[in-house]
Amino acid sequence: MTTDEAQTDQGSAAAAILASPGAGAASHDMVAAHDALHVASDSLRAAVQRLHADEDDAWRRYAAEADDAIARMEAELAVSAAKLRAERAESRESLSAALEEAARTWRARAEGIRLQTRLGEMEARDAGLVALEDLDAAGYRLAKFIHVVAHDVDGFGTTMVEHARNVIDDVRAAVAGLVLVARPDRDGADGDDDDGPPR
């Protein structure tokens, strides 16, 4: 799955959560606004993509930074929707589904940052490695708690939901990490091939 496809999945999942049964009348306005934002983000991303081949360094830097800004916004919205789903969970199964949504967003963000880190210049690679460390730590805590929820058949309750909210907040903070990427030439550059965080 490409990064763009993952971001599309994030947007669809977030809209589905907002439109879930019992969400209330106000959720319909949120879904419509979310859909409009997603369409606008796709259009902006397509326009920005053309700038990556521009001969002007400043335009290419802008394109890279705009790409990351769009990715961060969509990731944060998706994680916030997953947090909403977790807070409204009425069973261990629905809580697990919310945590899996957060995990999908984490994986998509990690994939995007790994790609940026490989393409970026030295300063951007350093920033990318720091962001990946934060994502890795949040992902480890999330995976560990997903395992707990899956196996603690009698543990569902207020404490578990509160813990889920805290874990998802960690993921949200990690996916919001800023990575500035400057592409050194129009063809990109081959960076060091690190393995990145576990998937």
pLDDT tens figures, 78-90: 898 899 889 989 8
Q: Write the single-letter amino acid at 68.
A: D
pLDDT surpasses 70 at 145: yes
What is the pLDDT, as a whole number, of residue 159? 92
Q: Residue 16 has which token pair?
A: 């589905």
Residue type, 48: V
The predicted-structure confidence for 43-69, as pLDDT tens digits, reads as follows: 888 888 888 777 888 888 888 788 888
Q: Where are the domains of the chain?
A: 3-175
In this structure, the number of other CB atoms found within 10 A of the CB of residue 54 comes to 13
**pLDDT by residue (tens digit) across 106-127?**
888 888 888 777 766 556 677 7
- pLDDT for residue 123: 62
Q: Band the pLDDT of 73: cuts 50, 70, 90.
A: confident
Q: Please report which confidence band the pLDDT of residue 35 belongs to, taking 50, 70 and 90 as the band edges.
A: confident
pLDDT of residue 132: 85
Q: What is the pTM of this model?
A: 0.70
Predicted confidence at residue 196, as pLDDT, reads 40
Q: What are the start-end ranges of the H helices in the chain? A: 3-18, 26-51, 57-87, 92-119, 122-151, 158-175
CA 135, 109, 102, 165 torsion-angle sign: positive
- 20: number of Cβ within 10 Å: 14
User: Among residues 173, 174, 175, which one has the least CA distance to residue 70?
Assistant: 175
